[in-house]
Amino acid sequence: MPEARTPAQIEADIVRRREQLAETLDEIGVRMHPKTIIGDAKAKAVSQVDHTLGRAFAHVHRVVEDVKGGLFDHSGAPRPERVVPVALLAVGVIGLLALSARRRRG
C-alpha cells in the first residue's frame, strides 16, 4: 500500500507542477509569437533558397566542366577539331545578330 503523503509533500508537488506548467506556457508563448513564426518561416525560406542555389551551382559547374573537357585535352591545350567549329558557330551567330540589328535600324 502506498505511503500517505504529507500536506507539505503535496504542496511541494503542486508548486513543482505549477513551475513546470509556467515553463511550458512560456515556451508555447515564444513559439506562437508572431516574430518567432516569421523568423522560422524566413529561416526555412533561406534554407530552401540556399539548397536550390547550391544544386544549381553544382549543375552549372558540371556543365562547364563537361564543355571544358570537350574543348580542351587533359593538359589544357585546346582541341582544334572541336574549338574551330564552336568558334565558327559563334562568329556566325554574332554576324546574324549584327545583320538583324542593322536591318531594324535601317
13 located within any domain:
no
100 located within any domain:
yes
30 located within any domain:
no
Total count of domains within the chain: 1
41 located within any domain:
no
Domain that holds residue 83: 76-106
At residue 69, does pLDDT exceed 90? no
Dmax over CA atoms of the chain, in Å, equals 106
At residue 94, does pLDDT exceed 80? yes
Mind listing the pLDDT tens digit for each residue in 27-66?
999 999 999 999 999 999 999 999 999 999 999 999 999 9
38 located within any domain:
no
- Rounded to a whole number of angstroms, the CA Rg of the chain reads 35
Q: Which residues lie below 8 Å from residue 68, measured CB to CB, with a gap of 6+?
A: none
Please say whether the dihedral angle defined by the alpha carbons of residues 62, 64, 69 and 75, taken in this order, is positive or negative: negative
pTM for the model: 0.47
Mind listing the pLDDT tens digit for each residue in 96-105?
999 999 888 8
57 located within any domain:
no
23 located within any domain:
no
CB atoms within 10 A of CB 77: 8
96 located within any domain:
yes
| pLDDT given at position 1 | 62
In this prediction, residues 85-97 reach a mean pLDDT of 93
